[in-house]
């Protein structure tokens, strides 16, 4: 039996307003609650004071970059299992490898398909809850 009362809260760390709009609309349509912040420092503060089911994390931001936010998440015992999906235009192989090596659960390159984003997010959420999930196609 599925708990339909529980809405997954997703922290969206993104400074591009157009991307924020696309992600927010898609997540809401899929029954999730997006919480948006537009800087790495704001993301770190939110993560320290609230709980989320997953994080969508851009790398290039005006203050603290996404790598530092990911480092912050993985350094905290309370958040070390929190699913983090890098959502970025940094598409070089070494960027992808660095994201995974630092503990990202998935890496999505912009431009992205909103349905692929949700599929990847649902797969990461399913793994965290222990429920079976199908990995997203690359």
CB 59, CB 67: distance < 8 Å: yes
Domain ranges across the chain: 9-127
Please check whether the domain covering 9-127 is classified as CATH 3.40.50.2300. yes
The predicted pLDDT at position 45 comes to: 97
User: pLDDT digit string (tens) for 47-83?
Assistant: 999 999 999 999 999 899 999 999 999 999 999 999 9
> CB neighbours of 90 closer than 8 A, spacing ≥ 6?
59, 60, 109
The predicted pLDDT at position 1 comes to: 38
Low-confidence ranges of the chain (pLDDT < 70): 1-5, 128-138
> CB neighbours of 50 closer than 8 A, spacing ≥ 6?
35
> CB neighbours of 42 closer than 8 A, spacing ≥ 6?
13
């Amino acid at each position: 039996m599925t708990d339909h009362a529980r809405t997954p809260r997703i922290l969206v760390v993104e400074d591009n307003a157009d991307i924020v709009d696309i992600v927010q609309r898609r997540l809401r349509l899929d029954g999730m609650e997006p919480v948006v912040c537009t800087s790495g420092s704001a993301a770190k503060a939110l993560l320290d004071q609230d709980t989320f089911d997953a994080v969508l994390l851009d790398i290039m931001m005006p203050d603290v970059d996404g790598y530092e936010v990911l480092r912050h998440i993985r350094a905290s015992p309370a958040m070390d299992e929190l699913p983090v999906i890098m959502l970025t235009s940094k598409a070089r192989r070494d960027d992808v490898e660095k994201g995974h090596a630092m503990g990202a659960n998935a890496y999505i390159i912009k431009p992205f398909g909103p349905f692929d984003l949700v599929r990847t997010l649902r797969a990461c959420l399913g793994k965290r809850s222990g429920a079976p999930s199908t990995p997203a196609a690359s």
